[in-house]
Amino acid sequence: MKLNYLHVLQWSFVVCCALSISAQNNPMSDPTNASGWVFCDLLSDEFNGTSLDKNKWWILGENGDYRSKWKGRAPGQFAPQNVKVENGNLILSSQWEPNFTFLNESQDGTPYGGVNKSHPITQAAIISERFFKYGYMEIRCKLAEAPVTGAFWTTGYHSEIDMVENYGKRPIGNPKNRPESLERKYRTNLINWDSESISVNDPIKVETDVNVRVASDYYVYGFEWDKDYVKIFFNGVEINRFTRAELEVKDQWKYMYPQELWLDTEVFEWYGLPAMADLNVPAEFKIDYVRIWQKEKNAQDFNALGFEGPFYYQGRSSNWYANNTHPWKMKNDKAATGDLSLRFKNTTPLPATFTYTMYSPYGVLNLPTGDNEIKMKIWIDPNTAVNNLRVILRNPFKIMDIDISGVQKGKWVEISKGFTRNVASDLSITNGDRLEIQLRNTDVVGSNALLYIDDISFQKVNLGLKTSEIEKTSFKVFPNPANESVTVVSSENGTVTIFNMLGVAVKKVTKNTQSQVISVADLNKGMYLISIHSNTKTLATQKLIIE
Rounded alpha-carbon distances, angstroms, from residue 320 to 150, 312, 390, 425, 426: 29, 12, 17, 18, 18
Which stretches of 186-323 are DSSP H helices?
A: 244-248
Whole-angstrom distance, CA of residue 418 vs CA of residue 367: 13
Contact 337, 455 (CB under 8 A): yes
Least distance (Å) from Ca ion to the CB of residue 94? 21
Least distance (Å) from Ca ion to the CB of residue 413? 15
Question: Which span (40-48, 205-213, 498-506, 519-527) binds Ca ion, by CB under 5 A?
Answer: 40-48
Whole-angstrom distance, CA of residue 225 vs CA of residue 290: 15
454 binds Ca ion (CB under 5 A): yes
Kindly write out the interface string for residues 265-304 of this chain, putting x where it contacts Ca ion by CB under 5 A and - elsewhere.
-----------------------xx---------------
Rounded alpha-carbon distances, angstroms, from residue 407 to 379, 410, 435, 447, 451: 9, 10, 22, 19, 11
381 binds Ca ion (CB under 5 A): no
Size of the site for Ca ion (CB under 5 A): 13
The enclosing H or E element of 365 equals none
Least distance (Å) from Ca ion to the CB of residue 366? 21
**Among candidate residues 131, 130, 107, the one with its CA nearest the CA of residue 119:** 107
Nearest-Å Rg of the Cα atoms of the chain is: 26
Candidate residues 30, 41, 46, 401; the one interacting with Ca ion per rule CB under 5 A: 46
Contact 364, 381 (CB under 8 A): no
Least distance (Å) from Ca ion to the CB of residue 495? 28
Q: Among residue numbers 328 through 357, which ones bind Ca ion (CB under 5 A)?
A: 335, 337-338, 341
Least distance (Å) from Ca ion to the CB of residue 50? 12
Candidate residues 156, 306, 370, 432; the one interacting with Ca ion per rule CB under 5 A: 306
Residue 214 or 330: the one with the smaller Cβ distance to Ca ion is 330
Angle made by CA atoms 271, 275, 279, in degrees to the nearest 5: 105
**Among candidate residues 546, 493, 502, the one with its CA nearest the CA of residue 520:** 546
Q: Among residue numbers 81 through 100, which ones bind Ca ion (CB under 5 A)?
A: 88
Least distance (Å) from Ca ion to the CB of residue 288? 4
49 binds Ca ion (CB under 5 A): no
Identity of the residue numbered 475: F
Question: Which span (251-259, 327-335, 419-427, 458-466) binds Ca ion, by CB under 5 A?
Answer: 327-335
Q: Which residues of the shown chain bind Ca ion in the complex (CB under 5 A)? A: 46-48, 88, 288-289, 306-307, 335, 337-338, 341, 454
